Amino acid sequence: MAGGFKEFVLRGNVVDLAVGVVIGAAFGSVVTEFTKDLLTPLIAAVAGKPDFSAMHFEINGSKFLVGNFVNAIVAFLLVAIAVYYFVVVPVNALMARVKKEPPPPDPTTKKCPQCLSEIPIGAKRCAFCTSQLV
């Protein structure tokens, strides 16, 4: 049982997936910090607010942190844009370049020189006009 688990864990796909998840989490935290520390203040400077995370409203004493939600949306959009332009587009271009067109299938019919009808490639006589084929 332990040998099967070891084989499963050391299989290439599982290791690749684990590395991808770790790198994705690290990339997500970098984008979140970029959004919170650089992009949000830049947008807030244009909009006149000091920081999105400070934006909130209250209803009956309950505090709704709208700014943190805006930061999360901006972070998600940045991650999605980065993944699309830095992963999806290059991989699609590479796959299009590598992908080869399948060769055309071998012909199974030919035209009769007398009546121009389609006949099997190995025929010695035309089924339509009964002419002898060379």
- Full DSSP string of 13-35: HHHHHHHHHHHHHHHHHHHHHHI
Q: CB of 131 within 8 A of CB of 125?
A: yes
Beta carbons of 40 and 71 less than 8 angstroms apart: yes
| Beta carbons of 122 and 114 less than 8 angstroms apart | no
Successive 10-residue mean pLDDT values, the chain, 134 residues: 72 77 85 76 71 80 85 79 83 87 89 91 89 84
Q: Which pTM does this prediction carry?
A: 0.49
The CATH superfamily assigned to 2-98 is Large-conductance mechanosensitive channel, MscL; domain 1 (1.10.1200.120)
